[in-house]
Homo-oligomer: A and B are copies of this chain.
Amino acid sequence: MTLNVYLSGEIHTDWREQIIEGAKGLDVVFTSPVTDHAASDDCGVAILGAEPDKYWHDHKGAMVNAIRTRKGLTDADIVVVRFGEKYRQWNAAFDAGYAAALGKSLIVLNLPEHQHALKEVHAAALAVAEEPVQVVQVLRYVLTGQLPA
């Protein structure tokens, strides 16, 4: 059994690397959005032509990024969504809703202080964690039945 895991959400800390590193040796294929913030903002206009209007500048980029995001979400068995400390992170919550509607197994990774604000997202999740290592432990258990010592 190979698990296909999409790592959605916050792009300013190394949580993805921690999970990927921790899951070494497990039969997991990870995908994620483009995490280079500048490239992600500008990809639309850099490739398809400049837009003077900020809205369309952003829109073109968001649509190009959606090609990758929807591929990742659609192919995933498990979608991990990380909510970080900063920003509004509506894209993370959007991905969680998208994943839920597709019937994906949803794991949410968030700070304790966000618990109340995330209650609707948690209601669709199969696991809620605070630390990346817990996600690794879930993946290990799901694949091997082995619990942390």
A64 touches B127 (CB 8 A): yes
A64 touches B138 (CB 8 A): yes
Contact of A66 among B90, B126, B148 (CB under 8 A): B126
- Give 1 or 0 for each of A61-97: 1 = CB within 8 Å of chain B CB: 1111111111110010110000100011111111111
What's the least CB distance linking A61 to chain B, in Å? 7
Report the copy number of this chain in the oligomer: 8
Tell me what chain A mostly uses at the interface: helix, strand, loop, or mixed: helix
Q: Confirm or deny: A119 has a beta carbon within 8 angstroms of a beta carbon on chain B.
A: yes
26 contacts between A and B (CB under 8 A): A34-B141, A39-B147, A42-B147, A44-B127, A47-B138, A47-B141, A47-B147, A47-B148, A58-B116, A59-B119, A63-B125, A64-B138, A65-B120, A65-B123, A66-B120, A67-B78, A67-B127, A88-B88, A89-B90, A90-B96, A91-B120, A94-B96, A94-B97, A94-B120, A98-B100, A98-B101
